[in-house]
Amino acid sequence: MRFQILDIVFNPPHPVTGRVVPPADRLAQVVETAVLAEEVGFDSFAVGERHAGDVLSSSPTVILGALAQATDRILLSTGVTVVSVLDPVRVAEDLATIDQLSRGRLEIVIGKGNEEWQYPLFGLNLTDQYDLLEENHALLRRLLAEESVDWEGRFRAPLRGATTLPRPFDGPFRIWHGSATSTVSVDLAARHGDPIVTANAFQPRENYAVLIDRYREQYAAHGHDPRHAIVGSGSGGLFLADTTERAVQQFRPYYEGAVARADARKYDPAAKGKVTSFRTLEEAVDRGPALVGSSERVAEKILDYHEAYGHVLQSISLDHNLEVEHRKDIVRQFAAEVIPLVRKEVPEPFLWSAQDTRRAAGFTAATWP
């Protein structure tokens, strides 16, 4: 299995002290974590994108530019690029610039985003989110792969002979699709023969498994090479301690704070994927996707989810309110203790290896036993 750290760069007040990390410090921490992730052997580091709420990832390509210069080996990614609210011309320009700066270490995950407030902010209608996703994705693919593009669509002015610069480092980089609540993204991925990343953050596993199963069925129906029907998975947060009991005790205020913040948003109760289905930390640990516990328990849980999903990429996220050194210790412990336990049971010889011909042009993941 391959491993990634995802930082959506949330920056709400501390759930106990109310302290807010200064934005400059929080952004610097993203860079520090990516450098550490590379040092301890993670394969990938991803930066999220949000345009509303207590989040500092409104400009992920700027952050990725900093990461491209601060790192040498690790794959860079997004999680997700919210193409539904963005101009595909600008997206192609920005991301190809990152691809050049990193010398071909970029792959991206696209989606419609999980933040409804983004749409009125950009003067768009939420009801168009899936149509925007499909149209902007189609144009983005062409701009990355072709020069002198002619285009007409529903949501933007026509293009005539458009060539975005810079061009990608060595041909178009791979596009993954974020999957959380609807069939649209998995169908789009299957149609184009692309991989998916299931959010696996808030809902019971069967909700995500239904979409993963549909993806594989549709992928096969379209006749694509089955080696590239790759599935990644997110998680409901990571927190490690020497025992599971101690991890639950220490992480409780952070989890309860996150639930309270989500409740304050007053989402429609019928809306899927906006708030956790697991009201208590015990539920999230026992039956949900939270990776909270000892190294052995977390490895066991990842393997348990692998049985349901068949995923070969595990993405993890840490609560930003933890003290910086504590977060770094968790990253080190995960790399030293969890990753070897999982890889012993689930080796992944294909994704990002030399045999993976669709991988980022400048990146080959380390070979693990």
DSSP string covering 128-194: GHHHHHHHHHHHHHHHHH-SSEEE--SSS--EEEE--SSPPBTBPPPEEEEESS-HHHHHHHHHHT-
283 three-state secondary structure: helix
Confidence band of 276 (pLDDT split at 50, 70, 90): confident
Per-residue pLDDT at 265: 76
Cβ atoms 361, 171 nearer than 8 A: yes
Share the mean pLDDT of the chain.
95
Distance CA 236, CA 215 (A): 22
Cβ atoms 287, 203 nearer than 8 A: no
Worst-scoring range by mean pLDDT, 108-112, 212-216, 345-349?
345-349
Q: Which residue has the tokens 């949000």?
A: 50
Q: Residue 75's closest CA among 48, 96, 102?
A: 102
Q: How many other C-beta atoms are found inside a 10 Å radius of the C-beta of residue 346?
A: 17
Q: How many other C-beta atoms are found inside a 10 Å radius of the C-beta of residue 90?
A: 11
Confidence band of 367 (pLDDT split at 50, 70, 90): confident
Query: What does DSSP assign to residue 83?
Result: G
Domains annotated for the chain, with CATH where assigned, are 2-345 (3.20.20.30)
Confidence band of 368 (pLDDT split at 50, 70, 90): low
Per-residue pLDDT at 263: 81
366 has pLDDT over 90: no
Q: Is the peptide bond before 168 cis (omega within 30 degrees of 0)?
A: no
Write out the H or E segment, with its range, that includes residue 78. Answer: strand 75-78
Q: Which residue has the tokens 């270490």?
A: 105
Question: Which tokens belong to 94?
Answer: 């920005």
Report, as an integer, the average pLDDT of 49-71: 97
Summarize pLDDT for 282-331 with one digit per residue, the tens: 999 999 999 999 999 999 999 999 999 999 999 999 999 999 999 999 99
Strand 159-162 versus strand 149-151 pairing type: antiparallel
The gap from C-alpha 42 to its chain's centroid, in whole angstroms, comes to 14
Cβ atoms 364, 18 nearer than 8 A: no
